[in-house]
């Protein structure tokens, strides 16, 4: 048996090969992620005598080119969580951290776990694109929140509380009424500098121009509120410039978020499990695609506990001798992105209180028992994933085989 450990980094990798006897067959050597060098590595590993298994860590997305090429050539490749390698014993009191030492450590891990290694299967192109798109969605969503907070902070100096005048939901292009309003009435003096009748007429024309519903009582409420506001920044060209600039940046980010949301839903609709996932309570056209993006093909998990462990919502264990802790924190060792999406789904269930939903009923029971917020939310996420696994797995098993 030949164990190959590959320590992945950006653009290059360190490779070490051990025999089952512990003998070093190939001293650690460097391989750049180029077509020629990976082809040479494939030739070298294919010519080794006996069975060969290759192990590498999940390292960002750097491992994907070399893993897919090695797997496509017929070699056995397994991708493991870096925590498993880190927790694997060095059998030494010295603390050595080099690429060569790491490659050898991964190779020794391969020998120790030879029979339990799971083969790498490259994610199909559609699922891979959906996952990348979800990460971009999360990135721009964070930007949108930051830009929104920045705009509110600026408006607190020119028109305090303007963001609270309207509660209309965002439009399909991401625009919001309070943001559009602030673009025109960026300073309290823009409102209170007119008479009530003049502002009402001006506001009515503004609503028609932007296709918003006009309410005369709303105009009076805004006008009355503006008269008592204390502003910090003067109503001048400079103030107007940075307010408008902040609005433009927020609108741009909001448009990207909504575009990605639509594209993700369209892409997810082409996956076989889409109708089953969308029928689940708490899941909609936004959270559904996010779940499918982060979970991937549910068939790659051998059982439901593997999925909950992947999400990091599996209950831990702490037992020694006669002692056994009754309440143990969850592992939180899996996908933080998936946990975030699951908590958003649980939050929807808590707010909507769907009747006869097993996940909501379970969380509500835990809440009634006095469990803390994070306890019943995590427990609900665990139960949701188990139901997700069962329903999706059963549905996909009923589909005709792909030709």
Per-residue DSSP letter, 81: -
Please give the C-alpha separations between residue 381 and each of 190, 294, 314, 343, 348, in angstroms, as whole numbers: 49, 14, 9, 7, 12
Question: Crossing angle, helix 125-158 and helix 287-295, to 10 degrees?
Answer: 130
Class of residue 169 by CB neighbours under 10 A (exposed 0-12, middle 13-18, buried 19+): exposed
Average pLDDT, 10 consecutive residues per value, the chain (403 residues): 89 89 86 91 89 85 85 88 74 67 88 85 78 94 96 96 90 93 96 95 95 93 94 95 96 95 94 94 94 90 87 66 57 80 95 93 92 89 94 90 57
What pLDDT was estimated at residue 309? Answer: 87
Contact 134, 293 (CB under 8 A): yes
**Residue 41, Cα to own-chain centre: how many angstroms?**
34
Q: Half-sphere exposure (CA, 13 Å, Cβ side) for 36? A: 0
CA dihedral 283, 284, 290, 293 (to 10 degrees): 90
The number of beta carbons lying within 10 Å of the beta carbon of residue 318 is 11
What pLDDT was estimated at residue 324? Answer: 54
Tell me the domains of the chain and their CATH numbers. 2-122 (3.30.420.10), 128-267 (1.10.287), 274-320+327-398 (no CATH)
- pLDDT of 57-108, one tens digit each? 877 778 888 888 888 888 999 888 787 787 676 665 456 678 888 888 898 8
What pLDDT was estimated at residue 322? Answer: 60
The strand pairing partners of 7, in sequence order, are 14
Question: How many whole angstroms separate alpha carbon 114 and alpha carbon 26?
Answer: 19
Terminal Cα-to-Cα distance of the chain (whole angstroms): 35
What pLDDT was estimated at residue 128? Answer: 84
Contact 297, 397 (CB under 8 A): no
Q: Half-sphere exposure (CA, 13 Å, Cβ side) for 352? A: 16
What pLDDT was estimated at residue 403? Answer: 40
Q: Which long-range contacts (CB under 8 A, 24 or more apart) does 176-180 make?
A: 176/254, 177/210, 177/212, 179/151, 179/247, 179/250, 179/251, 180/210, 180/212
């Amino acid at each position: 048996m030949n164990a190959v450990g590959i320590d992945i980094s950006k653009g290059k990798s360190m490779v070490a090969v051990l025999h089952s006897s512990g003998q070093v067959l190939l001293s650690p050597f460097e391989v750049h992620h180029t077509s020629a060098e990976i082809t040479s590595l494939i030739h070298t590993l294919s010519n080794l005598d006996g069975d060969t298994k290759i192990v590498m860590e999940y390292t960002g997305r750097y491992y994907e080119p070399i893993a897919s090429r090695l797997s496509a050539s017929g070699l056995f490749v397994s991708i493991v969580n870096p925590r498993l390698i880190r927790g694997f014993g060095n059998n030494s009191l010295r603390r050595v951290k080099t690429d060569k030492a790491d490659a050898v450590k991964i190779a020794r891990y391969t020998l120790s776990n030879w029979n339990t290694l799971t083969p790498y299967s490259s994610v199909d192109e559609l699922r891979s694109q959906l996952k990348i798109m979800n990460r971009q969605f999360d990135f721009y969503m964070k930007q949108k929140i930051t830009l929104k907070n920045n705009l509110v902070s600026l408006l607190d100096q020119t028109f305090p509380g303007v963001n609270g005048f309207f509660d209309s939901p965002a439009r399909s292009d991401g625009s919001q009424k309070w943001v559009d309003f602030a673009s025109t009435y960026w300073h309290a003096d823009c409102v209170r500098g007119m008479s009530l009748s003049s502002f009402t007429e001006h506001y009515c024309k503004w609503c028609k121009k932007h296709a918003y519903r006009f309410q005369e009582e709303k105009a009076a409420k805004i006008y009355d509120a503006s008269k008592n506001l204390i502003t910090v920044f003067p109503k001048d060209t400079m103030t107007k410039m940075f307010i408008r600039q902040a609005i433009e940046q927020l609108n741009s980010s909001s448009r990207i978020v909504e575009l990605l949301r639509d594209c993700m839903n369209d892409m997810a609709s082409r996956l076989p499990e889409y109708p089953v996932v969308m029928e689940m309570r708490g899941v909609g056209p936004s959270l559904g695609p996010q779940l499918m993006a982060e979970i991937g093909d549910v068939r790659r998990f051998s059982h439901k506990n593997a999925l909950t462990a992947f999400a990091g919502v599996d209950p831990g264990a702490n037992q020694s001798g006669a002692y056994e802790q009754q309440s143990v924190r969850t592992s939180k060792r899996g996908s933080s992105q998936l946990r975030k999406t699951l908590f958003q789904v649980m939050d929807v269930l808590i707010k909507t209180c769907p009747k006869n939903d097993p996940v909501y009923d379970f969380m509500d029971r835990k809440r009634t028992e006095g469990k803390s917020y994070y306890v019943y939310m995590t427990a609900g996420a665990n139960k949701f994933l188990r139901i997700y696994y069962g329903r999706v797995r059963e549905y996909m098993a009923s589909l005709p085989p792909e030709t």
